[in-house]
Structure 1
């Protein structure tokens, strides 16, 4: 492994033209991520149905509320595992190998789902996909940054093209996988997701040497020989302890679906809290940086509230699409999985428009906290909209699918107000000594949101539907108004960051 590599060495090793005027490596990373997202979102589009459908319909026959909670925990663990994936890449085997190992684990995870089987196989697949996504997802994005010099004006455009690949994969896969699941069965659908990841791996392995040069092949902060032994011993002991605890607690009835959900919920709150405490109390953090950390806390809480609503698009709203929506519409039969394509579709269409609005407003555009409050406002409204059909037509009537389309559209407007701004604000507000870890903290807001969702979704039933959407939507709107009111104070604490 090269340890004396600098950024310019990496850039020089990558052919700088060849993909729409961008480095050739962007082709490799675009299609690797396109197929990885195709496989992940395709699997996710039908997973909740697979869990709660009766065995006679090809499902696992789990209780619906348990299935919804497991789906939330799944999402939470995927985001948490990114911390492990980033650490392994930085300290042990580099980003290139992390991507390859992650892709292998994801592919085998989908293959486990493709085998008609049991709840045991489902949990095996869950572990493989969580670990694989944690290895692959953060490290692909990291290499995108490496193939451009810091002064390269194509850099932002390159990231935009890369994120287009993410959303194209997320848009197409529910349509393809949902159709195959409807026409055949769940296992064919999961099999298509496995093929998607295989294609992503094939693109990566075949083109990386020619297109990526030495990008991702070095270890950024390698473990010293004396550290390696200690770290590997601790990892081995940790795995052994977890294995023993699982072997003892499951037969004893201590580790159950519900207790595991509670455990992940606890971790989703405690890990970000510890991050904030450690960064704030560190001697490496200056007084100005401490003020910015305090400013970041309400933004983080707002982000958790926002993602708690947005991520229910693949749980509560997926169940709503399946059970409460009129699926024979305009002469076609709609697969409930197709609704999962709406979020990436609206992002592809609306992102350039929102970006243009901010540019047009210039100095008159809302501040960072005000944009966060707009994100929360739209998230709350998306839930208020979806309770209206039950209010207008009764709780048991099938709903026009356009109500669901409208709800997904409104929350995407909120996402475009909050998510890109949050990423940018995180890089600016991060203490210098914790820049990479603060980015991990931003993604932990999604983990915390889904850990929270695992508790919240238990309260959703057809009888509580209106109260459920009304209370959560109303809470988001109230939090939006509070955040807007205190935004001047937050802006002051940000110490010159806009």
Structure 2
């Protein structure tokens, strides 16, 4: 696969092959990430629909949204320990290979025609995705000669394209097979995709940087023993607790979802508070952390609404969206391909626009971009109110869904890449490698809030709730904009 996407370097005849002018190892990581995202976004598109389907688990919408939120929250929560395993235990390359194996195993368990093993498979996929996410991006960075390498930004752009190709194709294939043929066959197709990615990674790993195989800061014997002891202690506590709950006959699904959602909400708060209280940080770093908290909270509100595009909005579409074009019926899971195709179409436009405005000395700063992103995601839910009120017992045009995803995608382009950039710029030197994991915790926090609301009876598909969420996002965006000078002051020299 990699060879078909590589070409000779333009420098000298017989020189080493490159991937569109980039190190050949980027082809390996591009294809691995593409197939991993194929399995992940296929799961994202299929999961809520399977949970409510009569031929699936036949759960109510509230429970389905809660389970989906737990899954999404856990994936991004585990990106933090995933990075730790890469840094301290196995190294990025080995961690990625193991993670891919875990994902394949998880999807194969989901492919079994048994409800009893479903949640075990879901757990495996979440663990594998969390382990892989933090490490594969690190290995992309290893291919270049430091941050000053002029090819570095272009390499990450190509890598980002791979993500969106996988995300675009997944609902069209996995969604179609799952909805139209057999749910478990759809999960099996996700396993096959990740297996392709694993094979690609193992075959092409010789093209990766050597440092990807090394453990940057391995645990010493004492640390390893202490970590193992603490892990086993917490595992024992969990086993004993759930044994008591099951033994007394009081166990329900809520006993599993609520603790995970509370952890997803508590961990980001604890991590940010620990960094903020660190007395080793300079006054400038402390100020930047205070400013960063604004961005983190804004991002959490954004992801809380944005990720409902595959749950709340998708479940509405399943019942009330007209999914026929010229008499031809398409699966409702196909709506999940709208966002990645819009990202691929609009990302170059956004990048050009920021550069154009920068040359005119009119580029909005990071605070303004975040405010705009929040406002746009709020507007997407104000748009959602229209088909919600129009539907009744009938069907609404699919273009309402496309408009919702369009607003969210433009908001994503204002927040997601900008957030990644500002995270690297505002990170204290001591937490330079950890802050990217902290950024992903914003997704965890947002999904955890949505999951808790759904768990405790809030119908996220009611017009009143959607209106409150929309207003919250718009008001949060307005607040960020109004306090932009204060936040900019906290940011110091970061634009």
**TM-score computed with the length of structure 2 as normaliser:** 0.93
Residue 338 (structure 1) aligns with: 334
- TM-superposed CA distance for 1:307, in Å, is 0.4
Residue 382 (structure 1) aligns with: 380
From 214, 234, 237, the counterpart of 1:238: 234
CA contact (8 A) 2:106 2:121 kept: yes
Residue 9 (structure 2) aligns with: none
CA distance in 1, matches of 2:366, 2:249: 47
CA distance in 1, matches of 2:435, 2:251: 32
CA distance in 1, matches of 2:163, 2:318: 25
Residue 83 (structure 2) aligns with: 86
1:62-141 aligned at under 5 Å gives the runs 62-118=59-115, 120-141=116-137
CA contact (8 A) 2:80 2:438 kept: no
Residue 46 (structure 1) aligns with: 46
Verify: 1:304 aligned to 2:300, yes or no: yes
The 1:100–1:470 alpha-carbon spacing in structure 2 relative to 1, beyond 3 Å, is same
After TM superposition, the structure 1 stretch with the greater mean CA deviation from structure 2, 364-373 or 465-474, is: 465-474
CA distance in 1, matches of 2:16, 2:368: 39
Cα deviations by residue, 1:365-418 (Å, 9 ceiling, x for unpaired): 111111100000100010111111243x35322110000011001100000001
Residue 476 (structure 2) aligns with: 479
CA distance in 2, matches of 1:448, 1:250: 28
- TM-superposed CA distance for 1:133, in Å, is 0.9
1:219-234 aligned at under 5 Å gives the runs 219-234=215-230
Residue 3 (structure 2) aligns with: none
Unaligned runs of 5+ in 2: 1-14
CA distance in 2, matches of 1:161, 1:291: 34
The 1:225–1:384 alpha-carbon spacing in structure 2 relative to 1, beyond 3 Å, is same
Q: SS of the residue aligned with 2:454? A: helix
From 345, 349, 353, the counterpart of 2:349: 353
CA distance in 1, matches of 2:135, 2:229: 25
CA contact (8 A) 1:325 1:398 kept: yes
Q: SS of the residue aligned with 2:433? A: helix
1:150-229 aligned at under 5 Å gives the runs 150=146, 151-209=148-206, 211-229=207-225
CA contact (8 A) 1:426 1:442 kept: yes
After TM superposition, the structure 1 stretch with the greater mean CA deviation from structure 2, 17-26 or 273-282, is: 273-282
Q: SS of the residue aligned with 1:216? A: helix
Unaligned runs of 5+ in 1: 1-14
Verify: 1:429 aligned to 2:426, yes or no: yes
CA distance in 1, matches of 2:247, 2:489: 54
CA contact (8 A) 2:53 2:59 kept: yes
After TM superposition, the structure 1 stretch with the greater mean CA deviation from structure 2, 29-38 or 363-372, is: 363-372
Verify: 1:148 aligned to 2:144, yes or no: yes
Q: SS of the residue aligned with 2:483? A: helix
CA distance in 1, matches of 2:302, 2:110: 30
- TM-superposed CA distance for 1:197, in Å, is 0.6
CA contact (8 A) 2:180 2:331 kept: no
CA distance in 1, matches of 2:491, 2:381: 31
Cα deviations by residue, 1:7-62 (Å, 9 ceiling, x for unpaired): xxxxxxxx9642111101001000001111111111221111111112xxx21122
CA contact (8 A) 1:390 1:396 kept: no
From 345, 365, 372, the counterpart of 1:367: 365
Cα deviations by residue, 1:429-450 (Å, 9 ceiling, x for unpaired): 1111111222211100000000
Q: SS of the residue aligned with 1:250? A: helix
Q: SS of the residue aligned with 1:18? A: strand
Residue 3 (structure 1) aligns with: none
Cα deviations by residue, 1:184-238 (Å, 9 ceiling, x for unpaired): 11011111001001000010111112x1152421001001123222222222333
The 1:460–1:270 alpha-carbon spacing in structure 2 relative to 1, beyond 3 Å, is closer
Residue 31 (structure 1) aligns with: 31
CA contact (8 A) 1:69 1:457 kept: yes
CA distance in 1, matches of 2:199, 2:371: 43
- TM-superposed CA distance for 1:254, in Å, is 5.3
CA distance in 2, matches of 1:243, 1:16: 53
The 1:442–1:172 alpha-carbon spacing in structure 2 relative to 1, beyond 3 Å, is same
CA distance in 1, matches of 2:476, 2:194: 39
From 400, 413, 416, the counterpart of 1:416: 413
From 254, 260, 269, the counterpart of 1:264: 260
